[in-house]
């Protein structure tokens, strides 16, 4: 595995590297959230108490319509906010900070990519999230605070038509969000330096076909405890398969990249942010990230004002045209950096 890791580090360190992720429940098991299909520990092996006809029924829309209790027995426990992101989540964030992150397709509904500070423009929550709640019949939205309050008293119902409501998690039998198809239409035509597939059995469609559809000029990397789907059935010569705990693999990779301290810094900053009151609500995580963006933008505009003042001084003291040009170039550079902070 060490040779493969070195090859991966070289690719990531290369010029204009572009990284895309395809992730699943396995990147959150180190946070204390079980995955679905691991024998013994996976959620689907531990649902006996719900008396389901088959384990996936807990996320099946037709079953939910008749028997929402099974899902609601788990919903409160699964609601984002109780868990901290893993090293792997922070590695995705680090790729964002290094300007090499192009996209992160996730099947997870725990929102831990957002909690780790990955900007929503990069994230595609293919199986939806808890961020919004809607009535399954009339589509009326219910705010998540009301939903959580109602859940404490029983199974929440639509305040307009009295049907059941559910969070916008994609259940079996429901379509994936439009954002998934729109962005994949673009991304599938693009060439990336590496596509990192991690913590997923790749058993659920259409997500499972993404790594198979990725351009042949992209090097695919699997960071999983076991070999899965396409990497086993249709391997590519260039595939880098790393079968181990994904946090363990990331620890080794960041050492090779010389990014160990950068990752630790993000983890420590993240912990502080998360421990501050109120951060655990999904809405607040987005707000905190927006606040960070504003601070960055403020810094940029202060730097810009300083440069403008300097330029004014130069113009009034009639220095040569060249030095004015240099300053204008300086300002343009700051403006371009300012653009970056929007993502
Ligand atoms: P699975 O439970 O099917 O697969 C998780 C994979 O991650 C397995 O191959 C594990 O061996 C591996 N794994 C677990 N912990 C790991 C770790 N620390 N390091 C490396 N690998 C690890 O989960 P998903 O593929 O995400 O759908 O499942 C896909 C979908 O099936 C879910 O989104 C969910 C479920 O039904 C919905 O909720 C709609």
Res. 202: pLDDT tops 50 = yes
pLDDT tens figures, 284-299: 454 444 444 444 544 5
Residue 95 labeled ligand binder: no
Mutate to test the pocket of ligand 1, among 1, 21, 28, 36 (most ligand atoms within 8 A of CB): 36
CA nearest ligand 1 atom 13, residue: 26
Q: Which of 127, 134, 248, 260 is catalytic?
A: 127
pLDDT tens figures, 54-63: 999 999 999 9
Residue 35 labeled ligand binder: yes
Ligand 1 neighbourhood includes 68 CB (under 6 angstroms): no
Say what percent of the chain tops pLDDT 70.
80
More confident residue, 13 or 81: 13
Average pLDDT taken over every residue of the chain: 85
Least confident range from 25-39, 134-148, 223-237, 268-282: namely 268-282
Architecture of domain 2-272: 3-Layer(aba) Sandwich (3.40)
* Sheet with 123-125, side-by-side order of all strands: 123-125, 101-106, 19-23, 194-198, 219-224, 240-243
Report the alpha-carbon distance of residue 168 to residue 335 in Å, rounded.
Answer: 38
CA nearest ligand 1 atom 30, residue: 204
**pTM assigned to the model:** 0.82
Q: How confident is the model at residue 272 (pLDDT cuts 50, 70, 90)?
A: confident
Domain ranges of the chain: 2-272, 282-332
Q: Residue 49 has what pLDDT?
A: 85
Report the alpha-carbon distance of residue 108 to residue 43 in Å, rounded.
Answer: 13
**Is 248 in the active site?**
no
> Which residues does residue 123 pair with via DSSP β-bridges, in sequence order?
104
Mean pLDDT within 237-248: 97
Q: What separation in Å is there between the alpha carbon of 23 and the centre of ligand 1?
A: 8
Q: Residue 79 has what pLDDT?
A: 84
Q: How confident is the model at residue 321 (pLDDT cuts 50, 70, 90)?
A: very low
Q: Residue 77 has what pLDDT?
A: 79
Mutate to test the pocket of ligand 1, among 23, 41, 71, 200 (most ligand atoms within 8 A of CB): 200
Res. 188: pLDDT tops 50 = yes
Q: What separation in Å is there between the alpha carbon of 125 and the centre of ligand 1?
A: 15
pLDDT tens figures, 92-106: 999 999 999 999 999
Got the DSSP string for 13-32? HSTT--EEEEE-GGGGGGGT
């Amino acid at each position: 595995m060490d040779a493969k890791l070195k090859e991966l580090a070289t690719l990531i360190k290369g010029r204009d590297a572009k990284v895309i992720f395809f992730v699943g429940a396995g990147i959150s098991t180190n946070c204390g959230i079980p995955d679905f299909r691991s024998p013994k520990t996976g959620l689907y092996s531990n649902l006996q108490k719900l008396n389901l006809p088959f384990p996936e029924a807990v996320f099946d829309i037709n079953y939910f319509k008749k028997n929402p209790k099974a899902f609601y027995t788990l919903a409160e426990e699964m609601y984002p906010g109780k868990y901290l992101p893993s090293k792997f989540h922070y590695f995705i964030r680090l790729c964002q900070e290094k300007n090499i992150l192009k996209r992160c397709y996730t099947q997870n509904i725990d929102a831990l990519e957002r909690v780790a500070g990955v900007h929503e423009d990069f994230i595609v929550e293919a199986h939806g999230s808890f961020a919004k709640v809607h009535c399954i019949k009339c589509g009326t939205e219910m705010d998540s605070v009301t939903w959580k309050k109602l859940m404490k008293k029983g199974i929440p119902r639509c305040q307009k038509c009295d049907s059941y409501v559910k969070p916008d998690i994609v259940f079996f039998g429901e379509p994936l969000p439009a954002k998934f198809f729109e962005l994949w239409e673009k991304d599938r035509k693009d060439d990336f330096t590496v596509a990192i597939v991690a913590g997923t059995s790749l058993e659920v469609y259409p997500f499972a076909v993404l790594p198979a559809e990725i351009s042949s000029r992209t090097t695919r990397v699997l960071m999983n405890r076991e070999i899965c789907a396409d990497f086993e059935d249709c391997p590519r010569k260039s595939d880098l398969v790393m079968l181990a705990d994904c946090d363990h693999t990331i620890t080794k990779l960041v050492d090779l990249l010389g990014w160990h301290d950068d990752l630790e810094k993000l983890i420590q900053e993240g912990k502080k942010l998360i421990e501050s009151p109120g951060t655990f609500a999904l809405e607040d995580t987005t707000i905190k990230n927006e606040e960070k963006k504003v601070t960055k933008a403020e810094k940029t505009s202060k730097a810009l004002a300083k440069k403008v003042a300097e330029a004014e001084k130069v113009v009034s003291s009639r220095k040569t045209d060249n030095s004015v040009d240099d300053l204008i170039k300086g300002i343009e550079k700051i403006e371009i950096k300012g653009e970056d902070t929007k993502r």
